[in-house]
Chain A
Amino acid sequence: MIDPSLVRLAREGDVEAFMALVGHCETRAYRIALAFTRNAEDAADILQDTMVSALRQIATLHDEARADAWIYRIATNRSLMLLRSRRRRPEVSMDGVEGHFDSDGHRDGFVPAWPVDPEDELERRRLAARIAELSERLPDSYRAIWTLADVEQLTMEEIAGVLELSIPNVKSRLHRARLALRQLLAGELLTPGGVS
């Protein structure tokens, strides 16, 4: 966590204190932007825009102890704005992503195993790259939570702070995002020649 006294100094106009805040947050803010845009130039632009916006707005920051979450929220919002301005792949429907169950709670339908070796590092790397591509098909709010939780490894509390959502809401959307990604990847893995 960032030192609140440093943030206080930055709020009072101390440029070096603000630079220290930049240094503390830039890696994660850049990775968030990169995870959304999957483009290094866009991520660099978003990072710069995020830090410039943060400097402009720092007087409005009320909770000094959560300055990092505030900066990640700016980076997330900037990333989502950029994505919305561009044409995207069709979004996957989140309806029925949990599967269907009978009145006794037994699953309707079959869940096949995947023909992959999770211990094969090359295969895992290839599938991780594919899952990043497939994440582009998640609705924005789900993709944001999946990015922050499963790629950036923020805690539920941190994500709730960044996105200004309740923890149950974050958990519910993360679960559905994981199920949707699982389903998308399964669709490719179980189709001959699906993942290349």
Chain B
Amino acid sequence: MNCAELSQLLLDYFDGALPGLIAAELRQHAADCACCRSLVETYGLTVRLSADVAQAEVPPGVAQRVRDAVRALAEGQ
């Protein structure tokens, strides 16, 4: 595996969609290549940080407002 091939496989690697042998080849290339090792680590960290982006709940007042608007429209139809 070379650097270009590794780069193309990163999405499937982090989604757990790579066959085991290819994933092992990717890890081996990353172990031997400092640039690809950094890329794998920082790409993975980017994915992990994205999953940490704050998750909000719908505020109760907003949920009620939405239901009121939907009901008003339904009753007017």
Residues of A within 8 A of B (CB): 13, 15, 18-19, 22, 26-27, 30-31, 34-35, 40, 43-44, 47-48, 51-52, 55-56, 98-99, 101, 104-107, 109-114, 116, 118, 124-125, 127-129, 131-132, 146, 150-151, 153, 156, 171, 174-175, 178-179, 181-182, 185-186
Name the residue on B nearest A114 (C-beta).
B42
CB-CB under 8 A for A55 and B62, given A110-B35, A111-B39, A112-B38: no
Q: Decide: A40 and B36 in contact? CB cutoff 8 A.
A: no
> B-side binding surface: helix, strand, loop or mixed?
helix
A contact residues around B50 at 8 Å (CB): 128, 131, 146, 150-151, 178, 181
B48 and A118 form a contact (CB under 8 A): yes
Q: Residues of A contacting B53 with CB < 8 Å?
A: 35, 128-129, 131-132, 151
A-B contact pairs, 8 of them (CB 8 A): A13-B77, A31-B56, A51-B69, A101-B2, A105-B5, A113-B37, A125-B52, A131-B46
Interface size of B by Cβ–Cβ distance < 8 Å? Answer: 47
Q: Using Cβ atoms and an 8 Å threshold, which residues of chain A touch B8?
A: 98
Let me know if A47 and B43 touch, CB within 8 A.
Answer: no
Contact of B7 among A98, A112, A124 (CB under 8 A): A98
User: With A22-B70, A151-B53 in contact, is A181–B46 under 8 Å at CB?
Assistant: yes
Task: Tell me if A131 and B51 are in contact (CB < 8 A).
Answer: no
With A113-B42, A178-B46 as known contacts, state yes or no: A44 contacts B2, CB within 8 Å. Answer: no
Complex CA distance for A116 and B45, rounded to whole angstroms: 10
Shortest distance in angstroms between A35's beta carbon and chain B's nearest beta carbon?
A: 7
Q: Is B21 an interface residue (CB 8 A)?
A: no
How far, in whole Å, are A75 and B16 apart by their CA atoms in the complex? 29
In the assembled complex, which residues on chain A have CB atoms less than 8 Å from the CB atom of B55? 31
Complex Cα gap A1–B43 (Å): 31
Contact pick for B62, options A30, A110, A153, A178, CB 8 Å: A30
* Chain B residues closer than 8 Å to A52, beta-carbon distance: 69-70, 73
Closest chain A residue to B38, Cβ basis: A111
Instruction: Across the interface, name the chain B residue whose C-beta is closest to A106.
Output: B3
Tell which of B39, B65, B74 has the most Cβ of chain A within 10 Å. B74
* Contact with A175, one of B11, B49, B56, B66 (Cβ below 8 angstroms): B11
Question: Are B74 and A55 in touch, CB under 8 angstroms?
Answer: yes
Cross-chain contact A178 with B51 (CB below 8 angstroms): no
**Interface membership of B47, Cβ < 8 A:** yes
| Residues of chain B contacted by A127 (CB below 8 angstroms) | 49
